[in-house]
Amino acid sequence: MRINKERLVMISVQGTIVKPEHSGRHAVAHDGKPFMLPGTGGITYNVKVGDPVFGWAADHVEPGVSTILDQEKRDSGQNRGYNFYACIGNEARVVSGDAKGAKGIVTGHHGGAEHVLIDFPDEVLEKLTLDDKILIKSFGQGLELLDYPDVHVYNIDPNLFEKLGIEEKDGKLFVPVVAVVPSYLMGSGIGSTSMGTGDYDIMTADQDVLKEHGLLDLRFGDIVYIKDYDNSYGRCYRKGAASIGVVIHSDCKYAGHGPGVTIFMTSAKPLIEPVLNPDANIGKILRIGRYRD
């Protein structure tokens, strides 16, 4: 597949580890029950790419290390720039503290929180502190499929993209995915036009529907196909469209929420087809998280 990899620019961006925040009060779940649980941010030691997204005593938990440009600049253009430039599969390097020099891999963007998520080995997690700085070699935004102008690609390092096992046949692209998500299950994030940052959620209030579509076994890092959803210029339902993304955060208890998906490929036209493959996980492809050698 021909891509414009040699025309992409690699630019450094640098962030810091997010200090977890919480109101200390109960919230209300989609079933009307109150809950008070850990959520986003920090260094998450025991939740990694490859782990199940369901079953944690948490809400919106982010695997690995959650980063942001600056805690005080969450809603600034600079932080949006940090989220935009960082792509799934990019190399991240610790540039301060006891873990200085250690390397990790970007695994996704979490919208709303505006976090960039990074996987590091256990020995690095043990050395990191919440004051450490992490530099990312951003590379990927601007990626194009030269023979498929109606297929848009965002948020992914081209070196990872080339390892996904996508096949071309009869003018279409066949993409290995773990599961197919019906459009009616997509929730929080619909209507966003920030295609180069963030994610949107697979709603999980109806467990029977999740079971029907094989979604209860989803893991962090899984690649999924979202049917009839166009992410070309905003997130919207469009019959025949398709979007491909990576599962980046856990299940959530709020109405309209669930495991988050960062989109990296989409078309408004019926040009993308799913090929079910249980190994379609960025952790397995990159040997990170639970799949680290």
Q: What is the pLDDT of residues 64-75, one digit of tens each?
A: 999 999 777 666
Do 58 and 83 belong to one domain?
yes
Please check whether residues 123 and 155 belong to one and the same domain: no
- Based on the domain organization, do 117 and 220 belong to the same domain? no
Share of the chain above pLDDT 90, in %: 93
How far apart CA 235 and CA 181 sit, in angstroms, is 15
Which of the four pLDDT bands, split at 50, 70 and 90, describes residue 79?
confident
CATH classification at residue 88: 2.40.10.170
Q: Tens digits of per-residue pLDDT, 141-154?
A: 999 999 999 999 99
Using alpha carbons, select from 37, 143, 27, 157 the residue that is nearest to residue 105.
Answer: 157
Residue 21 pLDDT greater than 90, yes or no: no
145 within some domain: no
The answer to whether residues 255 and 190 belong to one domain is yes
- Kindly state whether residues 166 and 131 are assigned to the same domain: no
pLDDT value at 118 more than 70: yes
Whole-number average pLDDT of the chain: 96
Q: What burial class does residue 226 get, using C-beta atoms within 10 Å of its C-beta: 0-12 exposed, 13-18 middle, 19+ buried?
A: buried
Question: Is residue 49 domain-shared with residue 80, that is, in the same domain?
Answer: yes
Cα 218 to Cα 235: distance, rounded to the nearest angstrom = 22
133 and 12 within one domain: yes
pLDDT tier for residue 8 given thresholds of 50, 70 and 90: very high
| Claim to verify: residue 272 and residue 161 sit in the same structural domain | yes
Compute the distance between CA of residue 188 and CA of residue 186 in angstroms, rounded to an integer: 7
Structural domain includes residue 143: no
What residue has token string 């290995």?
176
Q: Could you tell me if residue 146 is inside a domain?
A: no
Q: How far apart are CA 38 and CA 15, in angstroms?
A: 22
pLDDT the model gives residue 263 = 98
pTM for the whole structure: 0.96
Residue 157 belongs to a domain: yes
CA distance 115 to 69: 9
**Does the residue 75 lie in any domain?**
yes
DSSP E strand stretches across 145-235: 151-153, 167-169, 172-177, 179-181, 200-201, 223-230
- Looking at 138, 172, 203, which one is the last position of a domain? 138
Does 166 lie in the same domain as 131? no
Can you give the CATH number for the domain in which 191 is found?
2.102.30.10
Instruction: Give yes or no: residues 210 and 111 share one domain.
Output: no
- Residue 243 to residue 231: CA distance in whole angstroms: 6
Domain's final residue, options 93, 108, 138: 138
Residue 17's closest CA among 56, 59, 87, 67?
A: 67
The mean per-residue pLDDT over the stretch 50-59 comes to 96
In a domain, 35, yes or no: yes
Residue 98 has pLDDT above 90, yes or no: yes
SS3 248: strand
| 107 lies in the same domain as 63 | yes
**Into how many domains does the chain fold?**
2
Question: Whole-angstrom Cα distance, residue 228 to residue 237?
Answer: 6
Which range of residues forms the domain containing residue 124? 5-138
Which residue, of 85, 108, 138, is where some domain finishes?
A: 138
> Does 233 fall in a domain?
yes
| 121 and 177 together in one domain | no
